[in-house]
Amino acid sequence: MEIEVLEGVFDANEMIAGENRAMLDEAGVFMVNLMASPGAGKTSVITRTLQGMAGSLACAVVEGDVAGKVDAERIAKLGIPAIQINTGGSCHLEARQVNGALARLDLASLDLVIIENVGNLVCPAEFKLGEDLKVMILSVAEGDDKPLKYPLMFSESDVLIVNKIDLTPYTDFDMKALKGTVFKMNPGAVTFELSCRTGEGVDKWNEWLKKRAARD
Amino acid sequence: MEIEVLEGVFDANEMIAGENRAMLDEAGVFMVNLMASPGAGKTSVITRTLQGMAGSLACAVVEGDVAGKVDAERIAKLGIPAIQINTGGSCHLEARQVNGALARLDLASLDLVIIENVGNLVCPAEFKLGEDLKVMILSVAEGDDKPLKYPLMFSESDVLIVNKIDLTPYTDFDMKALKGTVFKMNPGAVTFELSCRTGEGVDKWNEWLKKRAARD
């Protein structure tokens, strides 16, 4: 019984994700679904990415949080269109919420939409939003054993950004061990190592994303 | 319709949480529900706590993860009874899963059971397990703005442990700002600042928990 209800939820979600996809395709917009634990640095990666895209791609950001609007305010300060979705208790974004946000953006004037999902390594991986790319961030402070505990997120993501590499000397984080585990479950994963704090490695990610987004 | 289904889930959960409570009361066992983001240091806090309780309280640990058993293995290595619950995709523990784990422990020989919930700052806050104490961990690396984004977790928790304080000099973390926000939403919260890595502040938490657990 319970499983049937869940399947219904996923089916309905996938249908709306398809509608989002069609809207984006028509407008020629590339969409990134950015997922991570709370505090892994999603908003900081977005800020660094927006700086990198400045002058080449027109961007907008959709912020998903259980509550609050601090993230959307941070983005809006940069002069970038930002829409805040409050899930009101739900631990992930669903396609219908993104649909509502896309409808409020002037898609024709945009090249790239970045969705910041709710901070959570579990459920966001299960809900398609109509994105071109699933990107996850792992912070060095979280430890290199996370893929074993949250396998779906690591195997579903097209890109793994390892953030806060400036903290590496003060932790037991083992990059080699992490990558070994990740590539076993997701051989096609593209990885980037960076620090939003120092800026190290940010350019490489931005150049890659720029090329991917320009494909559309 | 959806809300009714959810209420049904919560009601059923609360009933079983009550059963857990009764089992624990009968055996004179104190139970802690430990919640945090992935990588905030739940297993490290448990390890440090077990060391602190050695010789005074008989402990067991119930590990909740979406997948894997690395945490239970870490605990069992210390000679402590450990039971691993794999939620198989679900982002939180429910009372029925804890019920099954408690049934497999020799409660009569125990004083303290620590439950390590699934790494998630959203849903675990909504499901009672029959615990005496809800304890959450926030790592310094996650940032001081998390209460605004995950208000339920911060307002539901009896205790907030701020872990990884050794990383403070390398981050923008503002302890005063964090506590200001937390005490506004949860004036009765008890807070501890510690580092499982260096051991700083661990004793204070352990002494406090020992006193609370001995109450039973």
Query: A150 and B38 in contact by Cβ < 8 A?
Result: yes
pLDDT tens, residue by residue, A91-127:
999 999 999 999 999 999 999 999 999 999 999 999 9
**Over 70: is that where the pLDDT of B3 sits?**
no
Whether B168 shows a pLDDT value over 80: the answer reads: yes
Report the pLDDT value the prediction gives residue B8, as an integer from 0 to 100.
Answer: 65
Q: For the segment A46-64, what is each residue's pLDDT rounded down to a tens digit?
A: 999 999 999 999 999 999 9
* Separation CA B121–CA A38 (nearest Å): 7
**DSSP bridge pairs for B32:** B114, B133
Say whether residue B10 is in contact with chain A using an 8 A CB cutoff. Answer: no
Residue A67 has pLDDT above 80, yes or no: yes
Q: B78 and chain A: CB distance < 8 Å anywhere?
A: no
* ipTM for the complex shown: 0.83
CB atoms within 10 A of CB A170: 16
CA dihedral sign of residues A20, A21, A23, A27: positive
Distance CA A70, CA A56 (A): 27
pLDDT band at B1 (very low <50, low <70, confident <90, very high): very low
Q: Would an 8 Å CB–CB cutoff place B139 in contact with chain A?
A: yes
**Best residue of A42, A65, A66 to probe chain B, by most B CBs closer than 10 Å:** A66
Average pLDDT (A173-190) is 97
Gap between the Cα atoms of A28 and A110, Å rounded? 8
pLDDT at A154 over 90: yes
Lowest mean pLDDT among A8-12, A103-107, A149-153, B179-183: A8-12
Query: CA of A169, closest CA in chain B: separation in Å?
Result: 10
pTM for this model (two decimals): 0.89
Query: What residue of B is the nearest CA neighbor of A123?
Result: B91
Out of B71, B145, B166, the one facing A170 most closely (by C-beta) is B166
CA atoms within a 13 Å half-sphere pointing along the CA-CB vector of B39: 27
pLDDT-derived band at A7 (thresholds 50, 70, 90) equals low
Residue A216 has pLDDT above 80, yes or no: no
The answer to whether residue B39 neighbours chain A at the CB level (below 8 Å) is yes
Which of A1, A120, A138, A163 is the best mutation test for B, with the most CBs of B within 10 A? Answer: A120
User: Chain-centre distance of CA A124, in angstroms?
Assistant: 10
Fold topology of B2-214: Rossmann fold (3.40.50)
Q: What is the pLDDT of residues B80-136, one digit of tens each?
A: 999 999 998 899 999 999 999 999 999 999 999 999 999 999 999 999 999 999 999
DSSP state of A91: S
